[in-house]
Each structure stands twice: as structure tokens, then as C-alpha cells.
Amino acid sequence: DVKVTQSSRYLVKRTGEKVFLECVQDMDHENMFWYRQDPGLGLRLIYFSYDVKMKEKGDIPEGYSVSREKKERFSLILESASTNQTSMYLCASRWGGYNEQFFGPGTRLTVL
Amino acid sequence: DQQVKQNSPSLSVQEGRISILNCDYTNSMFDYFLWYKKYPAEGPTFLISISSIKDKNEDGRFTVFLNKSAKHLSLHIVPSQPGDSAVYFCAASVGGANNLFFGTGTRLTVIP
């Protein structure tokens, strides 16, 4: 079974803090993704990575950066957290081609 | 601009009856479609997919229908069970690419 794990289920941070969200997958997938989910907006892609050290912007990359130093690990970084980044953050991974994405359990981030 | 739309935010169905969830898309280049189910405080889990070379795909109680001319797909769940109560997202991509476009979700409630 594919397993995607995220470092925290719930996180509370203050405005202006630097926030790291970590994601690890155990299936040797080359592709990894970060989404945020907000009510009425569905899932929106922030960034994805198709290989170590490679990244591509998604639909809403502003205010975020990512890091992929190892194949199994993909980090999302909020350089200076703001209240409008309060959201559910979902990590996913997959093989290439016509294959589904496997999601982690999500991190509920609240920025005060 | 929302390329994948789920126009019904919610749906209630009696246990044992059929649930039909609908999804429309605007991009005629989409050729791979997926349905995900999401329980509260969990990540989405993959349900079923269909490529544009087919018009129907079946997996147990779940069937996805694709109408390319209408740019419409639907998910049928028969018979519906209380455990099916969740938010359902449809998603689409071009050529199996990493960029997956999600709808805003439909909350299904199956009433015992």
C-alpha cells in the first residue's frame, strides 16, 4: 500500500512566522504535489516536483516555496505566514503517466 | 477560471438507492478523469478513473460515465451505503500530466 505521511495533522502559527510542512512517501514516486483545500474552492495546486531538486509552480504559488532534496521527501515552506494562508494543506505523490495521485492525511494550518 | 465544475454542492440519497454525482469540464483537451472521495480530516482517496477512449468504467458499486460531446462525466454509486457519505471530487488532466484540475466537490449524504 502506498503511504504518504505529513509531519503534522494540526498546526497553529503566528503571522510572520516561517512555517515548514513536511511530506514523505514510501513508494518511490517521482512526482510529488502540494495542494491547499478551502471550502467552496476545491483543491488548488501550489507546487509540484517531478524529480529531486526540480519543481514547477501550480495555480497558486504566491507566498510559498518548496524543497525536494530527496526523492521521498517534499517540503512546503511559508516564508512569512499570513492569515489568508489558514487552510488544509494536502500532499500527494504518484508515478508518471495515466496514474492517480495518492494523498496524505492533510495538515490543518491556522495562522493567527 | 474553473475548468472542472461540480455544480451541486450537496446531495442526499436514501440508503440502497442510486447516487449520481455530476461533473462538467470546459477543456476539450482533458483525456483522463478521476473521482476521489474525502472524509473529514482525511486526505482524498482515489475511487475510479476513466480515459477518454472509453465512455464507461465500472468497479464494484462505482461506475463512471463519460460523455465527451457534452463534456460531462458522472459517478454512479449503486447501492448507496451510509459509509459512502463523504465529499466527492472529480478531477481531470491532459495526457496524464501532473497538473490535475479539481472540481469544488459534492457532499454526499446517504440516509440510513
The pLDDT tens digits of the residues spanning A11-59 come to 999 999 999 999 999 999 999 999 999 988 889 999 999 999 999 999 9
Residue numbers in B near A7 (CB within 8 A): none
Residue-level pLDDT at B98: 83
Close Cβ partners of B40 (under 8 Å, ≥ 6 residues apart): none
The answer to whether A34 and A107 are in contact (CB under 8 A) is no
Say yes or no: A34 contacts chain B, CB-CB below 8 A: no
Amino acid type, B111? I
CB atoms A33 and B98 under 8 Å: yes
The grid coordinates listed for B87 are 465529499
CB atoms A56 and B51 under 8 Å: no
Residue numbers in A near B32 (CB within 8 A): 98
The pLDDT tens digits of the residues spanning B27-48 come to 999 999 999 999 988 899 999 9
B68 has pLDDT over 80:
yes
CB atoms B104 and A42 under 8 Å: yes
Predicted confidence band at A2 (pLDDT cuts at 50, 70, 90)?
low
- The alpha carbon of residue B50 and the mean position of all alpha carbons in its chain are separated, in whole angstroms, by 10
The pLDDT tens digits of the residues spanning A84-111 come to 999 999 999 999 887 889 999 999 999 9
CB pairs under 8 A between A and B: 55
